[in-house]
C-alpha cells in the first residue's frame, strides 16, 4: 500500500529577507537537512513555503519551519544565524523522525537507482536494492559479505550522489592499513606511497564515477579525503558521507572510535567480509563485535550478502560458494569430532 502524498503550505510572518536567509541556510543547506532527515520536499517563494510528503509529516515539518523561524529573531539588534547543529537539535526535539515509518522514507521493495554525472547506477539484485535503501534511510549502515557483491562500489556511488546533490559537504573514505601479514614500515616510499595501495579500490570507484581530473581537484580542496583509519582519531565529522572499507580488520577499539566520530548531518557506511580477517588471532574483529553489540539499535542497518549476490565474473561466485561450503563442512566435522570425544 503506497503512502498518500500531501501538500502543506506555510507562510512565515513577519516577512524578513535576512531571517528567511538564516532559516534556509547557505545554499539552502538547512532546508536540505530537513528534507533528508524527514523524507519531504520543501520549496519556497519569498516567505511562502510548500512542504510535500506524507500528510502527518508535511504538517509537522511546517510547524518545525515556524519554530525555526522564531529562533531567527534578532536579539538586541543582532540576527540569530541558524546552523546545522541547531537544525539537527530542533528535528530531534520535534520527534517527527520517530513517527515516520520506513515506507514513508524509502521502501526496500521499490527499485532504486543512484545518479552520478557519469551515469545511472542501479542495484543488480534484491539484496543490493535493500542495501541502497538502507543507506538512504539510516545514518549508519553495514554491508557485510564476500568480495564482488558491490558493497563498497554502491556505498561510494551513494556518497558521490549525496555530494552532487549537496546533501553533504565532503566525502571521507577510510580503511584500516592491515593486510595479510604486511606492515607499513616495510614498504618503500613516503607515508602517502605506503598507504595508497591499501586505498586503491576506493580511488578506482571514485575515478569511474567522477573522472580522474575531478577527483584530483576535489582531493586538493579536501572535499574528498582518502585516509587510513588511524587518521580519524580525535575528529568529529559533520556534514560528511563517511565510508569505512575492509572493516573486518578493525579492532574493537578502532570500530568504537570510528562510530563515535559521526557528527551532525553525516552518514556512515561500514563494509567488510568477516571471512577475510587479517588481524592476529588474539584480537577480535571490530566488525564481528559491532554486529553483536549494535544489531538492535535504531538508525543502524545491517545487510548480509551471500555468494549468490556476487556480481563479478560467474566463476567468482562459484569460488566464493566453494569456500563457504568447505568452511561449513569443516565446522560439521569439528562438531562431530567433539561429540565423539564427549561420548567416550
**pLDDT tens-digit profile of 168-198?**
889 999 988 755 444 555 555 555 555 566 6
Asked whether 9 and 48 are in contact (CB, 8 A), the reply is: yes
ω into 14 cis (within 30 of 0): yes
Of residues 75 and 70, the one with the higher pLDDT is: 70
Of 22, 20, 25, 21, residue with least CA distance to 10:
20
pLDDT at 310: 77
> Cell numbers of 39, please?
523524507
- Last-in-domain residue among 74, 103, 132: 103
Instruction: Please tell me the distance from the alpha carbon of residue 65 to that of residue 293, in angstroms, as a whole number.
Output: 36
- Last-in-domain residue among 56, 71, 103: 103
**Mean pLDDT over the full length of the chain:** 82
**pLDDT tens-digit profile of 228-286?**
888 888 888 888 999 999 999 999 999 999 999 888 888 999 999 988 888 888 889 99
- Last-in-domain residue among 69, 103, 137: 103
**Which residues are within 8 A (CB) of 125 and not within 5 positions of it... i.e. 6 or more apart?**
308, 309, 311
Domain that holds residue 223: 107-307
pTM higher than 0.95, yes or no?
Answer: no
Residue by residue, what is the 3-state secondary structure of 4-20?
CEEEEEEECCCCCHHHH
pLDDT surpassing 90 at residue 293: yes
Task: Please state the domain count of the chain.
Answer: 3
> For the chain, how are helix, strand and coil distributed in percent, rounded to 5?
50, 20, 30
Asked whether 116 and 210 are in contact (CB, 8 A), the reply is: yes
Is 80 in the same domain as 160? no
Is 201 in the same domain as 217? yes
pLDDT at 180: 41
Of 337, 270, 254, residue with least CA distance to 304:
270
Is 259 in the same domain as 292? yes
Rounded average pLDDT over 57-75: 89
pLDDT surpassing 60 at residue 300: yes
Is 97 in the same domain as 116? no
> Cell numbers of 241, please?
558521507
Residue 9 phi/psi, 5° resolution? -100, 140
**pLDDT tens-digit profile of 21-53?**
999 998 888 998 888 778 789 999 999 999 998
Of residues 119 and 291, the one with the higher pLDDT is: 291
Q: How far apart are the first and last CA of the chain?
A: 59
**pLDDT tens-digit profile of 153-171?**
899 999 998 888 777 889 9
Amino acid at each position: 500500500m503506497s503512502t498518500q502524498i500531501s501538500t502543506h503550505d506555510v507562510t512565515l510572518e513577519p516577512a524578513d529577507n535576512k531571517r528567511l536567509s538564516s532559516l534556509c541556510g547557505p545554499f539552502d543547506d538547512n532546508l536540505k537537512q530537513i528534507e533528508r532527515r524527514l523524507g519531504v520536499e520543501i520549496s519556497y517563494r519569498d516567505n511562502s513555503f510548500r512542504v510535500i510528503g506524507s500528510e502527518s509529516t508535511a504538517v509537522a515539518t511546517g510547524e518545525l519551519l515556524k519554530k525555526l523561524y522564531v529562533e531567527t529573531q534578532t536579539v538586541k539588534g543582532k540576527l540569530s544565524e541558524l546552523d546545522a547543529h541547531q537544525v539537527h537539535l530542533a528535528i530531534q526535539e520535534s520527534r517527527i523522525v520517530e513517527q515516520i515509518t520506513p515506507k514513508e522514507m524509502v521502501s526496500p521493495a521499490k527499485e532504486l537507482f543512484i545518479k552520478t554525472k557519469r551515469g545511472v547506477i542501479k542495484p543488480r539484485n534484491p539484496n543490493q536494492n535493500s542495501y541502497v535503501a538502507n543507506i538512504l534511510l539510516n545514518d549508519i549502515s553495514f554491508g557485510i559479505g564476500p568480495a564482488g557483491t558491490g558493497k563498497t562500489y554502491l556505498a561510494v556511488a551513494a556518497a558521490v550522489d549525496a555530494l552532487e546533490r549537496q546533501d553533504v559537504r565532503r566525502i571521507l573514505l577510510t580503511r584500516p592499513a592491515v593486510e595479510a601479514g604486511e606492515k607499513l614500515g616495510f614498504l618503500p616510499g613516503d607515508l602517502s606511497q605506503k598507504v595508497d595501495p591499501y586505498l586503491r579500490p576506493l580511488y578506482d570507484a571514485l575515478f569511474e564515477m567522477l573522472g580522474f581530473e575531478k577527483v584530483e581537484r576535489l582531493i586538493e580542496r579536501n572535499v574528498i579525503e582518502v585516509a587510513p583509519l588511524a587518521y580519524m582519531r580525535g575528529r568529529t565529522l559533520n556534514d560528511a558521507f563517511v565510508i569505512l572499507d575492509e572493516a573486518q580488520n578493525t579492532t574493537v577499539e578502532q570500530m568504537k572510535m570510528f562510530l563515535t566520530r559521526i557528527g551532525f548531518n553525516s552518514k556512515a557506511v561500514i563494509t567488510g567480509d568477516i571471512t577475510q580477517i587479517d588481524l592476529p588471532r588474539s584480537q577480535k574483529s571490530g566488525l564481528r563485535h559491532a554486529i553483536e553489540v549494535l544489531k538492535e539499535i535504531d538508525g543502524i542497518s545491517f545487510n548480509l550478502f551471500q555468494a549468490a549476490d556476487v556480481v563479478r565474473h560467474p566463476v567468482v561466485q562459484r569460488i566464493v560458494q566453494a569456500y563457504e561450503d568447505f568452511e561449513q563442512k569443516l565446522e560439521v566435522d569439528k562438531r562431530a569430532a567433539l561429540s565423539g570425544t564427549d561420548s567416550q
